């Protein structure tokens, strides 16, 4: 589970990124969003690293930003995520960054235990904050984090309970 952070300059993309951009999941999204061939100016204007460099701190200060990347991400996204983290630190932008030692990119590479609980906890806390509430979810209780996130986003208790039960079953299956 890694944020797909690409370098802002399309002409200097390492081969691993070019390969990732041709994947069956990413290629259609990129084409729909940036055109085919990719519009380099549109790409740069929407690139997280370029945005951090171009925008003023007060234009980004209300964003709640979380991203993580595994050091064994098959696309090498951990390196660009670390660059984004460094750029945000330099710009003094609040964010939550997690480098997951040994973590991969997808479900079969430890996502359920290495990063999903923290991701969902962050989402739950942001929903609570937006509703003027606060919650404190500790440990790796993914189901509790998801339950809070759904409840606080006003999906209702029953929906949250059903999804939490389904996720609990999924995580037991994946373990």
DSSP string, 5-73: PPPS-GGG--HHHHHHHTSTTHHHHHHHHHTTTT-HHHHHHT-HHHHHHHS-HHHHTT---EEEEETT-
Q: How far apart are CA 105 and CA 73, in angstroms?
A: 5
Q: Please state the pTM of the whole predicted model.
A: 0.73
Q: What is the pLDDT of residues 123-160, one digit of tens each?
A: 777 777 776 766 665 555 555 555 555 554 545 444 54
If one compares 80 and 122, the residue with the highest pLDDT of the two is 80
Query: For residues 67 and 52, is the Cβ–Cβ distance under 8 A?
Result: no
pLDDT range class, residue 97, cuts 50, 70, 90: very high
């Amino acid at each position: 589970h890694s944020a797909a952070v690409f370098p802002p300059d399309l002409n200097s993309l390492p081969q691993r990124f070019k390969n990732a951009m041709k994947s069956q999941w990413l290629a259609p999204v990129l084409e729909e969003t940036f055109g085919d061939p990719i519009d380099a100016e549109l790409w740069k204007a929407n690139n997280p690293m370029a945005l951090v460099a171009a925008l003023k701190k007060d234009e980004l200060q209300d964003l709640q930003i979380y991203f993580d990347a595994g050091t064994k991400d098959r696309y090498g996204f951990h390196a660009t995520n670390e660059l984004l983290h460094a750029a945000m630190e330099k710009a003094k932008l609040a964010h939550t960054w997690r480098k997951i030692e040994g973590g991969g990119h997808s479900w079969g590479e430890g996502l359920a235990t290495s990063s999903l609980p923290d991701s969902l906890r962050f989402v739950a806390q942001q929903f609570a904050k937006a509703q003027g509430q606060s919650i404190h979810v500790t440990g790796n209780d993914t189901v509790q984090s998801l339950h809070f996130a759904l409840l606080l986003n006003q999906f209702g208790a029953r929906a949250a309970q059903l999804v939490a039960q389904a996720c609990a079953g999924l995580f037991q299956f994946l373990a």
